[in-house]
Amino acid sequence: SGDDAAARRTRGVLGFVLDQTLRLLHPVMPFVTDELWSALTGEDSVMMAAWPTYSFTDPVAEAEVGSVMRLVTEIRRFRSDQGLRPGQRVPARLAGIAATPLAGHEAGIRSLLRLTSPEDDGFAAAAALTVEGVTVELDLAGTVDLAAERARLDKDLAAARKDATAMIAKLGNPAFTGKAPADVVAKSRERLAAAEADIARLAARLATLA
């Protein structure tokens, strides 16, 4: 990155993690850890090193990384819902990211999610998702057959609605809820909740393709 301070911090963190990991692994991998630790530290043996006692916490950093993880997870799910292959590169605009703590992670986020920078002149958002304060707009031109994708989503939505209707009828029948084992009734309620969640998700995806 050309940032000397960041480079020093990164080297320090990597060195600390490697040092502590070699100490922790030594009881189960004695020879290779001792050889590596001695070569890297210049000390005689890792057997003479203190056992790690790590208690440092950084709530701000943990919250920031947690936000990145949630963003990546949701967008991966969103990509899949759009019919995109995991390794398929797609032009995307990350609107609003500059105003969030994720701004410094944009390059890493794009790399993890296979999102390329948009060509402003020809970029046309066909699907969008807002998560962690960032609106992710995807240009699906040439990557997804939108008509086929709408047909697939319509089919999945119809199946989810049919399942939900069946579960509502089942749970509304006193003969079932009064006589069936509690775990069977509970599973039917879980199935209804899952179907309703699928309906909301699929309807939202269809709306983005409208």
Q: Quick one: pLDDT at residue 210?
A: 60
Q: Quick one: pLDDT at residue 109?
A: 94
Question: What is the value of pTM for the model shown?
Answer: 0.58
> Strand, helix or coil at 92?
strand
Q: Quick one: pLDDT at residue 144?
A: 67
Burial profile 1-34: b = 16 or more Cβ within 10 angstroms, e = fewer: eeeeeeeeeeeeeeeeeebeebbeebeeeeeebb
Q: Quick one: pLDDT at residue 98?
A: 93
User: 182-208 and 146-171 are packed helices; what angle lies between their axes, rounded to 10 degrees?
Assistant: 150
pLDDT along the chain (210 residues), means of 10: 87 92 94 93 91 86 94 90 83 92 93 86 79 89 74 90 94 91 93 93 78
